[in-house]
Structures are given as C-alpha cells and as structure tokens.
Amino acid sequence: MKKIFLRSRRNASGRDTTPAELDLSFYRCWYNDLASLSDARLVMHWRKEGPEEGRHPNLNALLQKEHLDPANLPEDFAPETYVALNPDIKTSLPSSYHATYHYLKTGAAHGRPFRFDWQFYVDAYPDLAHLKSREEAIQHWLQQGRQDGRFPSLDDFLSSLGVTRRVLPSQLTLDEIHRLNPDEHFPNFFTALKEIATQIPVRKLSISDDAATNANFYLQLALHQERIESRSRADELYQLSLHFAPTALAHEHLGNLAVNRHELHQAVAHYQHALKLGSRSEWVPQNLAHALSKVHQFDKAVEVLIAATATQSNLDLLSDKLDDVLYNYWYTQEQVFNCLAISHERNALIETSEAATKFVADAYARFFTAYSIQRKLSTPIRSNRVLIIGTFDLPQCLRYRIEQKVEQLELAGYQATAANYRDHDQCDELVNFHDVVIFYRVPASIRTIRTIERTRALGKITFYDIDDLLIDPVSPPPIESFGGQVSLQVYANLTKDTAVFRAAATLCDFAISSTKPLLDKLSELVRYRTGFLHRNALDDIILKSTKAAINSSGYINIFYGSGTLAHNSDFIDIALPAINKLLQNYPKARLVTIGHLKLPSQFLKKHGHQVVQFHSVLEPKSYLNFLSSVDINLAVLHDDVINDCKSEIKWMEAAYFGIPSVMSKTKNYVDTIDHGVTGFLATNPEEWYEYLEKLTVDASLRKQMGVAAQKHIQSTYMPETLSENIVNFIDSAVRQHSEI
C-alpha cells in the first residue's frame, strides 16, 4: 500500500531527470488529459504549466492541499481490495491513487470496508467451504455475508470487540488454544477466539501462558464494553482480568463503574488499589478525591490531591478538583453554621467557622506549597503596588475604606487597584501584579480563603481591614435594637457574618482599622498580632462640597442621619427623651432625620410640626449638601463594646462644615473628641438635654465649637495626612514581614 507514495522519477533511458517533487505515475494516472504523454513530455508539462494550472505533482501534495493525513491510512490498506469491496464506486476509482484518496476523503468516515481475508472467511464459516477463490468469497460476502453479520477478516472481528491483533500472542493458533484450555474444544480458530471473548458463563479461558497477556486481553475487551455503555459486561470482564493479574487500569475502571452505581466506598477501595499498583492516570486521584468527598472523608480527599502533585503534570486539574472537594466540605459546614446561628450559639458558631476556615486554608496552603508553579517572591516586596480586595455592596464602606485608600496611595505615588471580592477571577489575576494586598470586610468563603492563601504562598503581604465590630460574638446587637426592621433570617445571616468575617481575619498577616478599640480586637486575630490605625478621612467628595446658605427658616435644625438599621433603639432610648423635652421647651427647635429611623407614633403626634423625616438614604453629595445646612449634629450610640468601636464619621463630616455635634461618650469618641471644645460627649439623658439646650440657645457657642472641630479635622483628617500614614504602616509591615 505504501508504495503508492513513492515517486517514479526515471525516464525510459533510466536516467533521473525528473524534478524531485514530481511522481510521474501519479501525474499520468490522476490527470486523464495527460495519460498519453511520454515521461519527458510529462516533466515538461509540469515545469511549464502544472503549477499555474493548479495541478498536484504527487499524491502527498494533493492530500496536503486537502488537509488529509496519510498517517490515517491503515497499514493493511490495499487499493485493489477497497475497490473490490465497494463496487458502487468502482468506475470512479480507475487507479490506486484514486482509491487511496477516496478512502481518506470519505470512505473512512462512511465506514466503507477495505480489508478481506478470504482464507479466514472460508475457515471461519465451515458452510462456505465450497468457495474456491478470493473473488468468489468477496462476491459471497457482498451479496449475503455482510447481511448475515459475517466478518470479512480476523481484524474486523477483533475490531468489533474493540481490540486489535496486538492483544493476541503472535504465535497463537487453534492447537495452542486447546493446549491452554484442555477442557475446551473448538472447531476452528475463529470460533475459539469468539468463545473466549464472549464466554458465558465466565470460565477463565486463556490465550497465553503469561498471566499479564491474559489480563490485558480481557482488560481491552472490558474497555470496549464500557465505551459502548455495556457496563455490567465491562464490570465482569474487568473482574476476569484481575483473576489473571492485578492492574491499576482495571481497578480504576471498576472504581468508575462503582461510582456510577453510587457504591462510593467500593469505588474508594478500587481507586486506592489503582494507586498502590502505581497508576499514573491523572483521573485516579481526582476520582478518588471525589468519591472520598461524597462520603464526607474530606481530609483524606485533600491528602490524595496533595500527594498527587508529586506525580501528576496537569496541576490545574488537581487544583480544580481541590476546589470541588473544598466547596463540598464548606457546603456541609454552612449547614452547621446555619443551625448554630439560629440557635444563638455564637461562641460555638465562631469555633466551628474558624475550624472550617483553618481546614480549607491549610489545604490550600499545602497544595500551593507543593504546586511548583506557585513559588514565593525571590525579589523584595514592592510596597508601592497595593491591591485592595473588598466588598462593594455598601456605598459608604466602599467610599471610606476602599476608594479613600486608593486616593491616598495615589497621592503618595503608589500604584493602587481596587477589586470587588466577588469577582474571584479578577482578584486572583490582580494578585500576580501586587505585592501588598488589603482584604477589606471580606467573609471567609472558599474563593476568598483560596485567594488569601495563594497570596501568602507567593510571599506577599496580607492585611485584614474592617470598620465595624463584626468579628466579636457580641455582634450583631439584640434583634430588638433594629426596631422591627430586620427579619429572623436576616438576623441569622448577620450572626453568621460575624463568624466568617472573624475567620477570614485570622488568615491575614496584619490588621488595619479605623478606631483604636476595634484595632485592639482585630489585632488579636491576625497572624502577626500586629495592627495599624488608619482613620476614615476627608476626601474629594466632601472637600469639593460647599456649605449651604445660612439657615433663614427661623428654626434651629437638629440633625440625625442613620445609614444602617442597627441604631433605632440607640436613638429612641438615649436621645429621644432629651429631644422630646427640648422640642417642648423650644418651639423653634426642629428635629431633622435622614435614613433608617422609626420614631414612636406618640412622639410624632405630639411634635409632628417640629419633625422633618427623609426615610431614604441619600447619595453622598446630596447627603452632605443637606448636612451643611443644619445647625446641630447628633451621633447617638448605646454605651457598649460594639459602639465603642464605631468611627467618628458623623462628627467629622459635620465638623468639615463647622457644625457642632453632640455625641455619645463611646471609647472612640473619647479618643478623638476634646469634650466641650470640638464637641460635646453625653452619657445620660440629662447631659443630652444640657448640651443640646446650650447649643440651641447660644449661636456663638455653636459657631465656636464648629470652628474648633473644623480646624482639628483640617489638621488631622486631610488626604495628605492619611496618605503619609498608610505609606508608613505599609513600610513597617514590610520590615516586620522580611524579618520573619
């Protein structure tokens, strides 16, 4: 067959004058209009006209032009046999070149027959002994044998079983089969092979003295049965293969079949046997890990995948499977989280979430360590390339803890990038280009944990930043403090959030927070037990705001803004008694509120003409414009550990416009306010009334306190000041990190 690809290059005189690329026989046979030309004329035609006319000099050139691969031609392909077995196309195949081209172009795809062993055909079917020639045998097969399901050759029979001659011993004969299986008697070689391959019941028939050869024969038969989805027969043949010799491949596929039957423990056992037998299949550790995770043996599943990094080349597949295993693990743990949150078992919830987070983090850390591509930085930390990964869900949080940091870092000439933690792929990509990564208000979840551990595995520095006490079992505050504005399910989710925020913090190297009380608590959680204070600051939004026109309404507007649902009871319990008395005593005093505040109906009935409420939360520019027009600002918080950690944003924003504030005496306000100078700090209803009354009746005091507060924030809260602060603490963290 292969000779049709050899080029005839000699003319009648025997001298080689033909161009190297020209096959004279092909050129003459393929192009009918050139059939009568002599060799010399053919050469001349090719040189002068062939290429211009788009003719091909040889069969290989034709096949290449049509994107057909000669390697796809079977070794035993014979053009004349192909033509004989396909009489419907005989007239269109005048030469071996045409037959070969036709087979590669369409014949193979259409399953046209191309081989015929007439001696096999007659021997395999004793009723055909009367056929005396190859031609008679071919005609019989074409006219009747094919319809009867008879095989034209041993290779076709083996092909129907999904195997080739290579699985048979080269010297296998009928006598040899009888010797190997003395209790059997077969009339001919074909019947013997057919019975061995399709034996029912199974009798452990052999084709060789070599156990491995027998095992491989049945293994190949089983693989074919599995491919055609005859799973029970495949299972039987795999087992028969193991009767001769143990092989990793048989155990691997028995494991696959067990998974399909949902017999996961059996699947685990087969995959483990495959590994013990030295399987190098990339699927065995993945399938074993999958089966282990389905029976909740997550720790063993992780061990399998980490061990596989030493032998497997496709580490991305292992990484994907590790993700799947850990997602399944996390899903089971989240159900426990839900139960503990609903049951108000906060300490148990925190312990469980931290244990689950540690399991996932350790799995990723070990995997990335073993993952040779993930290598630690060999160059010094580039502290001027900072990535902030955080939540974009809350506009005020986005502004104060993400966008402000970007602005401050850029002021220092740093490259700063912000990414939504929900965009996991983008976060993972950006980590590659930044050496300092700040995780802001992100919960522990599989992808978040993965990103943090990958960042650390690369030798980069991680910070955890949060601006509320969402990391302590005291959070959230009692449900009644929300004034009926949250459902039980929302409250349970808030309880879970505390646990997963806290768990995420434990993975990062350093802490950042906006208040000292909060920073003290957060620093206890991070790896290096070190934190950095970075207060909320003035930014472009507020710095470009202008103070509204002087209040000419005749009212003294006392302002309260609430952007969250959690402080309704704070206001009602602490400030409202004093305000109730103030409005009663001073008809020109007026309460103005924006946001989430539900006032008692009795209070509104009594003072409705002195109350203005906007229940929607305004966007920053509108809010600041409104704030700039009021006379007195309020920041009302219960005296508890949660509110001790609240930042001074309300005071700072009012102070920018020179507006005085009365605030609850929380730890953070004590740290930041000069009582009586830059603001009033009240601890009880009497003090609230006293300070509100002073500011209501004394315009000069309002101005004096407002100006003092304004000067203080202009020296302490400007972007340039905070820019210097963030650069300093990043440098400090880099130094500490390099020493560890």
- Sheet of strand 415-420: strand arrangement: 415-420, 385-390, 436-440, 461-466, 510-513, 531-533
Q: How many CB atoms lie within 10 A of CB 15?
A: 9
Helix spans in 458-567 (H): 488-505, 516-523, 540-543
pLDDT of residue 12: 46
pLDDT of residue 433: 95
Is 70:60 a contact under the CB 8 Å cutoff? yes
Query: Do the domains at 147-334 and 376-533 have one common CATH topology?
Result: no
pTM of the model: 0.81
Q: How many CB atoms lie within 10 A of CB 394?
A: 14
Report the chain (740 residues): mean pLDDT per 10 consecutive residues: 55 64 95 94 94 95 95 94 95 95 96 95 93 95 96 94 94 96 94 92 93 98 96 96 98 98 98 97 97 98 96 92 98 97 96 98 94 56 95 92 97 97 97 97 98 95 96 90 83 95 98 98 98 96 84 87 73 94 96 91 94 84 91 94 94 97 97 98 97 98 98 97 98 90
The 10 Å CB-count burial string (b at 16+, else e) for 552-567 is: eeebbbbbbbbbebbb
Name the token pair of 333.
């743990």
Q: Point out which residues pair with 10 in neighbouring strands.
A: 16
CA gap 158, 202 in Å, rounded: 19
Name the token pair of 508.
């990062």
**CATH 1.25.40.10 is held by the domain 147-334:** yes
Nearest Cα residue to 366 out of 335, 337, 326: 326
Name the token pair of 173.
């004969």
CATH of domain 376-533: 3.40.50.2300
Give the list of residues 6+ apart from residue 91 with CB closer than 8 angstroms, or none: none
pLDDT of residue 498: 96
Nearest Cα residue to 595 out of 631, 567, 570: 567
The amino acid sitting at 257 is L
Q: Which pairing describes strands 632-635 and 436-440: parallel, antiparallel, or unpaired?
A: unpaired
CA gap 31, 45 in Å, rounded: 12
Give the list of residues 6+ apart from residue 682 with CB closer than 8 angstroms, or none: 662, 663, 664, 665, 688, 690, 691
CATH fold, domain 540-717, is Rossmann fold (3.40.50)
Residue ranges per structural domain of the chain: 2-112, 116-146, 147-334, 376-533, 540-717
Nearest Cα residue to 716 out of 625, 652, 620: 652
pLDDT of residue 379: 67
Name the token pair of 174.
């009928």
pLDDT of residue 372: 47
